[in-house]
């Protein structure tokens, strides 16, 4: 945030001038599409509670229009910039609240204005995590550290009391994790690591990696933000500990561009990896039959599952259509019985709907049972493999009756430890059972039976 106004905004403000707001917005838009995407991800997976903080952050980003808009409790994650745009449109009224903002190309006054607003906002609420998220990939406090800076974080004595751990977490976590198993780092990282004094005594456990360091960074960001605004020498009642950054970060801000990408990666890199892993895990949890746990097979399973879902959707759509046609036809029949049986005109239409062959296939696995259901038109073929324990034929037969399937053919027996059966069935007319329901029901019944049977097996 501070780098927005502090580093970048001076340039952009100087360029555009008139409407500093739109400038920064444009600025935002250009650079932060990726940021918003990342923010989206972070939001989703870290489940921030961003009610008023969201408002705050957006407002801060959008130069505080929306702070004055308390109705802005919309914490949808959708692009914050659009959100803020709408704020602005509505919040034009509060433009005059800005004082001489519009004319001001002077970032100082802008900062001071923002200072007051931010101070008020900070006074009101807690950390705006979203704010910091937005800034996150571009410029974090750690990324602000150029390799050769001498930042003294360990002498708060002449400034302020020792900051609580969270404030400087971010600085330590990424560094700290460099101590972990050696990973190939770009040389810059090592340089950075070495250049920073080892006198860091703040607790920074590596375990507080992704989620916590994010918070840490947020705390940092906020403080740094406030600190930066302190440059304007406006009396702000922020956490005092922040001030120690201000001078250093002031110079860092300008040097940010020279630092280059690798330095800011090494804080975000880990987070990105962990986020990626989290996503893979989420994908795995969605899929019904997860097999192996490595990334390639998770993706493979997801591919199969998507195909299966598409098949199911098609099947269901077809079924719904059929049902609707049948219903309509029946209605017409009923009404036309009085009319001496005029052939309903909907018949040809029905034909076209019903002529598409319904086909679907899916598999489901549970601990002891594997079910494979294939449907072509009205014939259902079910393959069932089950660990030998119960008399499954009876139960399956019952289930098939419930599902209105007419058993035509059963073949199978027990092979080694397993029962294996193949059921050929036909769907009774008018039943609208679909592949998913069959499979799920079967698995459910099988598992229930397994649970019901005591461990001592039967006498086969």
Partner 1 sequence: MEFVGSASTQSCITQKRGRRVYGDDRDFKSKNLTAERRRREKLSNRLLTLRSLVPIITNMNKATIVEDAITYIEKLQMTVKVLSDQLLEMESSSEESERPRNDEINAAEEMKKHGIEEKVEVTNVDGCKLWIRIISKKKRSRITKFLEAMASHGFELSDTNVTTFKGATLISSCLNGVYSYKIEAEQVKELLQEIIKSI
Residues engaged in binding partner 1 (CB under 8 A): 34, 37, 41, 44, 181, 183-184, 186, 269, 272-273, 275-277, 279-280, 282-283, 286-287, 294-296, 299-300, 302-303, 305-307, 309-310, 312-313, 316-317, 319-320, 323-324, 326-327, 391, 393-394, 397-398, 400-401, 406-414, 428-432, 434, 436-437, 458-460
- 413 versus 416: smaller Cβ distance to partner 1: 413
- 118 versus 399: smaller Cβ distance to partner 1: 399
- Considering the complex, what minimum distance in angstroms separates the CB of residue 460 from partner 1? 7
- Give the number of C-alpha atoms closer than 13 A to the C-alpha of residue 356, restricted to the C-beta side: 15
Phi, psi angle pair for 427, to nearest 5°: -80, 130
- 199 versus 416: smaller Cβ distance to partner 1: 416
Nearest to 251 by CA among 1, 5, 6: 6
Q: What do you get for the CA distance between the two ends of the chain, in Å?
A: 73
- 408 versus 448: smaller Cβ distance to partner 1: 408
- 51 versus 294: smaller Cβ distance to partner 1: 294
CA distance 14 to 81: 22
- Considering the complex, what minimum distance in angstroms separates the CB of residue 239 from partner 1? 33
- 250 versus 278: smaller Cβ distance to partner 1: 278
- Considering the complex, what minimum distance in angstroms separates the CB of residue 332 from partner 1? 15
CA distance 149 to 252: 8
- Considering the complex, what minimum distance in angstroms separates the CB of residue 254 from partner 1? 27
CA distance 277 to 207: 16
Could you tell me what percentage of the chain is helix, strand and coil, using 3-state DSSP and rounding each to the nearest 5? Answer: 60, 10, 30
- 341 versus 430: smaller Cβ distance to partner 1: 430
- Considering the complex, what minimum distance in angstroms separates the CB of residue 236 from partner 1? 37
- Considering the complex, what minimum distance in angstroms separates the CB of residue 397 from partner 1? 4
The kind and range of the H/E element at 57 are: helix 51-61
- Considering the complex, what minimum distance in angstroms separates the CB of residue 416 from partner 1? 14
Which residues lie across from 129 on neighbouring strands? Answer: none
- Considering the complex, what minimum distance in angstroms separates the CB of residue 120 from partner 1? 36
Q: Which residues contact 226 (CB under 8 A, 6 or more apart)?
A: 118, 119, 122, 236, 238, 239, 242
- Considering the complex, what minimum distance in angstroms separates the CB of residue 211 from partner 1? 17
- Considering the complex, what minimum distance in angstroms separates the CB of residue 13 from partner 1? 29
- Considering the complex, what minimum distance in angstroms separates the CB of residue 44 from partner 1? 8
Strands 369-376 and 379-387: antiparallel
Structure tokens, 171: 């600085």
CA distance 206 to 177: 6
- 22 versus 424: smaller Cβ distance to partner 1: 424
The kind and range of the H/E element at 222 are: helix 210-229
Is residue 370 within 8 A of residue 398, CB to CB? The reply is: no
Output the CA torsion sign for 265, 270, 274, 280: positive
- 125 versus 312: smaller Cβ distance to partner 1: 312
- 90 versus 404: smaller Cβ distance to partner 1: 404
- 158 versus 334: smaller Cβ distance to partner 1: 334
Is residue 35 within 8 A of residue 138, CB to CB? The reply is: yes
- Considering the complex, what minimum distance in angstroms separates the CB of residue 258 from partner 1? 21
Listed as own residue / partner, the contacts of 178-184 with beta carbons closer than 8 Å and 24 or more positions apart are 178/266, 179/206, 180/206
Q: Which residues contact 399 (CB under 8 A, 6 or more apart)?
A: 441, 442, 445
- 324 versus 448: smaller Cβ distance to partner 1: 324
CA distance 35 to 447: 46
User: Which residue has 């940092």 as its token pair?
Assistant: 220
Is residue 388 within 8 A of residue 448, CB to CB? The reply is: no
In whole angstroms, how far apart are CA 397 and each of 366, 382, 449?
A: 19, 12, 14
């Amino acid at each position: 945030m501070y780098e927005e106004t502090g580093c970048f905004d001076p340039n952009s403000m100087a360029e555009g001038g008139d409407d500093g707001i739109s400038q920064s917005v444009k600025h935002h838009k250009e650079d932060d599409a990726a940021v918003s995407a990342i923010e989206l991800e972070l939001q989703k997976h870290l489940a921030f509670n961003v009610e008023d903080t969201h408002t705050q952050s957006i407002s801060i980003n959008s130069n505080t229009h929306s702070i004055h808009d308390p109705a802005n409790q919309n914490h949808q994650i959708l692009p914050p910039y659009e959100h803020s745009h709408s704020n602005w449109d509505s919040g034009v009224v509060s433009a005059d609240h800005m004082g001489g903002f519009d004319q001001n190309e002077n970032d100082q006054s802008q900062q001071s204005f923002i200072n007051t607003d931010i101070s008020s906002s900070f006074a009101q609420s807690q950390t705006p995590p979203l704010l910091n998220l937005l800034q996150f990939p571009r410029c974090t406090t750690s990324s602000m550290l150029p390799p050769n800076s001498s930042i003294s974080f360990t002498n708060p004595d002449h400034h302020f009391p020792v900051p609580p751990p969270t404030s400087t977490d971010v600085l330590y976590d990424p560094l700290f994790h460099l101590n972990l198993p050696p990973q190939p780092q770009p040389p810059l990282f090592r340089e950075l690591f070495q250049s920073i004094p080892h006198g860091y005594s703040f607790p920074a456990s590596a375990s507080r990696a992704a989620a916590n360091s994010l918070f840490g960074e947020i705390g940092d960001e906020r403080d740094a933000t406030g600190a930066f605004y302190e440059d304007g020498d406006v009396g702000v009642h922020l956490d005092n500990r922040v001030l120690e950054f201000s001078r250093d970060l002031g110079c860092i801000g300008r040097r940010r561009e020279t630092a280059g990408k690798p330095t800011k990666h090494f804080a975000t890199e880990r987070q990105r990896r962990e986020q990626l892993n989290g996503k893979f895990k989420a994908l795995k949890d969605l899929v019904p039959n997860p097999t192996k746990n490595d990334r390639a097979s998770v993706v493979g399973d997801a591919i199969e599952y998507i195909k299966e879902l598409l098949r199911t959707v098609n099947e269901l759509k077809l079924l719904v259509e059929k049902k609707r046609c049948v219903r309509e036809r029946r209605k017409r029949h009923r009404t036309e019985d009085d009319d001496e049986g005029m052939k309903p005109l909907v018949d040809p239409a029905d034909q076209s709907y019903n002529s598409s062959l319904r086909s679907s296939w899916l598999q489901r696995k549970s601990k002891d049972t594997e079910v494979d259901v294939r449907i072509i038109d009205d014939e259902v073929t079910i393959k069932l493999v089950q660990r030998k324990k119960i008399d499954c034929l009876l139960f399956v037969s019952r289930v098939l009756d419930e599902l209105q399937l007419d058993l035509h053919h059963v073949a199978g027996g027990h092979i080694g430890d397993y029962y294996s059966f193949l059921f050929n069935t036909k769907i009774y007319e008018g039943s609208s059972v679909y592949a998913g329901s069959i499979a799920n029901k079967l698995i459910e019944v099988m598992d229930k039976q397994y649970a019901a049977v005591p461990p001592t097996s039967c006498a086969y």
